[in-house]
Amino acid sequence: MVKYLDPESDFGAPRRRKPNQNLAARRQKNAELPRSEALEAARESALRVLDHTAASSGQIREKLTKAGFLPEITEEIVTRFLEVGLLDDREYAAMLVRTRFRERGLVGRALVQELNRKGIAPNLQQEALAQITPEQEVESVQMLAEKKARSLGNATYPQAMRRIGSFLARKGYSPAQCRSATNAALADRDFETE
């Protein structure tokens, strides 16, 4: 037997609220909390973020601000977390650069964009980017170009040049690096004339 729910009755599944209503209500509640309760709630919120993943002070600041905590509460929590070592932007930036380079082959401006999104200060960005040597970049760009070349199938030479070059450029490599690696990757391949 099939049961039909009457939209006018209170029986059955509870109606879902729109997510924005819940978020707005939470923001309002967080903004109106007394100072001691706001500090505790903001601390718990920041710790929940850090339980799931590493984060920069900029990311924690953004999360707490979006949650509706007052700026002075947010700054106090971020400052305290920096003091006790729960947040370390220098170490976070270094880890992010290492992993993005190793896993995705990102370099240069692509890494700078990633660090900017994470709220890392420019002086820490340069320090973190210095971990990648020019030799590592050359090795990485060649490996990525060869891998992309193998995946192109029946592309013509101009298509292959464009696709590999744009792929490498999105990874942050310079035009000279892209051109050199693309030429090397396509040197051994036979292309049909159009």
CB 149 within 8 A of CB 185: yes
Secondary-structure class of domain 28-87 per CATH: mainly alpha
Topology classification of domain 88-133: Arc Repressor Mutant, subunit A (1.10.10)
Amino acid at 141: V
Taking the CA atoms of the chain, what radius of gyration do you get in angstroms? 25
Domain 28-87 shares a fold with domain 88-133 = yes
Half-sphere exposure of 154 toward its Cβ, with a 13 Å CA cutoff? 2
- pLDDT 10s digits, 66-111: 988 889 999 999 999 999 999 999 999 999 999 999 999 999 999 9
Domain-wise residue ranges, the chain: 28-87, 88-133, 142-194
- pLDDT 10s digits, 159-176: 999 999 999 999 999 999
- pLDDT 10s digits, 24-81: 777 777 777 788 888 888 999 999 999 998 999 999 999 999 988 889 999 999 999 9
Q: Locate tokens 């706001």: which residue? A: 38
pTM: 0.75
Spell out the alpha helix ranges (H) of 85-174. Answer: 89-104, 108-117, 122-129, 134-150, 157-170
Give the pLDDT band of residue 16 (cuts 50, 70, 90).
low
